[in-house]
Amino acid sequence: MVSQSKIDQAARLLHPAKHPSALTGAGVSKESGIPTFRDALDGLWARFNPQELATPFAFLQNPKLVWDFYEYRRQLMRPAKPNPGHRALAELERIFGGLPIITQNIDALHEDAGSAQVIALHGKIAVNKCFYNCQGDPTPVDVSKIAYDQNDGPPPCPHCGRKMVRPAVVWFGEMLPPAALAAARAVLHTTDVMLVIGTSGIVQPAASMPLLAQDSGAALIEVNPYESELTDRVDLWLDGPSGEVLPRLVAAVKKLRGNAG
């Protein structure tokens, strides 16, 4: 368990922030029952490497396999609810009057928890689009309005008829949505304290974002039970699960705010 003195140290770093922010990864949703991206898959998917499925190349080579992989993960994510970590971030937004969250997660749980300033770098799993973005980028497709056989893999695009519909997430080798990237960059230039929560710090460009914020003068507080690629660079590492650490951080910040009148 993270010591109270470390939580208090983090609260003292965060309390004076004028523009706090967060970068989140799959770890923040782990306590909602969603496996992290690099957790081993189980059941039928145990022999697959998610990194090899999350590419446009894999989709074009075997659309049904990749579509089924995302259907499986949709089923895992659909019943998931925000956990105390998501809710603590929404509460920090209220306390500070703003807290942009740059998230790599595709589950929309920050929004469900009530956070209003969420920048989704890697898209949303609940949304589908035309692989070719035939009506402009993106071309969303509501598959609930298409008659198709679930066992046949992805349906054709209802606009252009070409194969095929795909999840509106960002795969390896693809550009991030330009609006999300621009919004994230604006945060990196202004933030004075960034919480880096539940990310392995492996995937670019998200992994470089805390370091860019640091170059602009931000302090970095990491929340992750295990060491990440970023741990050596942060100002403070709270080595526990975000669902436990973040509510304690909120309580400690509230105490300081109370003391500050």
Binding stretches for ligand BJW (CB under 6 A): 25-28, 30-31, 36-38, 54, 104, 106, 122, 169-175, 198-200, 202-205, 223-226, 228, 241-242
Residue 111 has which token pair? 């929004």
Given 19, 110, 122, 159, the catalytic residue = 122
* Least CB distance to ligand BJW at residue 220 (A): 15
- 15 annotated active-site: no
Shortest distance (Å) from residue 12 CB to ligand BJW = 22
CB of 91 to ligand BJW, least distance (A): 17
- How far the first Cα of the chain sits from its last, in Å, is 30
> Closer CB to ligand BJW, residue 142 or residue 229?
229
Give phi and psi for 14, each to the nearest 5. -80, -40
For the CB of residue 179, give the shortest distance to ligand BJW in the complex, in Å: 15
Cα 109 to the center of its chain, rounded Å: 9
Cβ-based nearer residue to ligand BJW, 32 or 191: 32
Residue nearest to ligand BJW (CB): 27
Pick 227 or 257: Cβ nearer ligand BJW: 227
**What's the min distance (Å) between Cβ of 119 and ligand BJW?**
13
User: CA-based Rg of the chain, rounded to a whole angstrom?
Assistant: 19
Rank residues 16 and 52 by Cβ distance to ligand BJW and give the closer one. Answer: 52
CA angle 65, 70, 76 (to 5 degrees): 130
Long-range contact set of residues 176-179: C-beta below 8 Å, sequence gap at least 24: 176/121, 176/122, 176/205, 177/120, 177/121, 177/123, 177/138
Specify the residue, 37 or 96, whose C-beta has the smaller distance to ligand BJW: 37
Positions marked active-site: 122
